[in-house]
Amino acid sequence: MSTDLFSPITVGRLALPNRIVMAPLTRNRAAAGNVPQAMNVAYYRQRVTAGLIITEATQISPQGVGYPATPGIHSAAQVAGWQAITRAVHEAGGRIFLQLWHVGRISHPSLQPDGALPLAPSAIRPAGEAVTYEGMQAFVMPRALDRDEIPGIVEQYVQAARNAQQAGFDGVEIHAANGYLIDQFLRDGSNQRTDAYGGTLENRARFLQEVTTAVCAEIGADRVGVRLSPENNFNDMHDSDPQTTFNHAAGVLSGFDLAYLHVVESDMITGSSSIDYSQVRTAFGGHYMANCKYDLARAQQAVQSGAADMVSFGTLYIANPDLVERFSSGAALNTPDPDTFYGGDEHGYTDYPFLGQ
């Protein structure tokens, strides 16, 4: 039997019925206190036919917050809110991982406890603006983390993974992509440290390695995935040699026997790409999940050729809760409405029609 997008696969301790994954999608629809609410339950339950659901990025601490109305996993109320979601997904036969998120410098004092400066590996202000409750505001100069603070941030990831287990998740995905804290350590455009966390490839990957080690020790490597984005320029990110940097990062992760490595395979805004992702896949050696502007044909080709074991879909899952069924039957896809992607109510969130409606 040939392997294709609809073939089952075992990932860690999970048996997935297909290789179609719902990518993490920030939707800015958490309730007060960054607590998941009833419409979030409906949203995830609608998408349970995905082989795996990866939740929207979820902050590991109050310090990790970078956007309004995004959920957390650091308070009892947030854990309870997520419990309602995992219960609904599991009762409907689905599987779900929580994405662990610390935004680092991509925040604003108005979003931070006591109005503090955002934290980063180095005091380098990103170009652009932060999304705040008062509207768009220029990013500020972040405060560089002291070396003795870093173990405390690692512990925030551990506690968040522990809370995710309490909330009923099947596993977690460590968000090391898209210009957030771990990515800021990895890339030399945002990391100019001169201590053990900066300079060489080994040093810049140290924070990723320490977070992954600690989270795997807490919940088991077979419940952990990691997401990387070697070429994504989002959040003013760049690296002088992304091929070498991320081949190394994938090699570091190869030693953990993770559930999967999830890779954004181009710049997510332009779609442009110049590195060889087969090298990243080879360096990792385990289950490889591809992402970024895939359609059905390209995803099928990636899985059938062995370029990827799974493919995650973002925008298509916003508009098509029954994406698996539409792909398998060749049905037309709903058209996404970008005006309703971020914030708002059920409109553009849980009201996209299923086949036959």
Six token digits for residue 144: 């560089």
In this structure, how many other beta carbons lie within 10 angstroms of the beta carbon of residue 67? 23
Residue reference for tokens 């406890």: 113
Which residues is 313 bridged to in the sheet?
A: 22
Six token digits for residue 33: 């206190």
Residue reference for tokens 């990025």: 57
Catalytic residue, candidates 67, 157, 180, 294: 180
Nearest to 154 by CA among 131, 181, 136, 133: 181
What is the spatial distance between Cα 184 and Cα 189, in angstroms, rounded to a whole number?
8
Strand, helix or coil for residue 284 = helix
Which residues is 97 bridged to in the sheet?
A: 54, 171
What is the spatial distance between Cα 216 and Cα 172, in angstroms, rounded to a whole number?
10
* CA 251-253-256 angle, 5° bins: 125
Q: Is position 180 annotated as part of the catalytic site? A: yes
What is the spatial distance between Cα 85 and Cα 323, in angstroms, rounded to a whole number?
20
What is the spatial distance between Cα 43 and Cα 351, in angstroms, rounded to a whole number?
9
Residue 132 zone, left/alpha/beta (φ > 0; ψ -120 to 50; rest): beta
Six token digits for residue 109: 């004092």
Give the pairing type, strands 9-11 and 14-16: antiparallel
Give the catalytic positions in this structure: 180
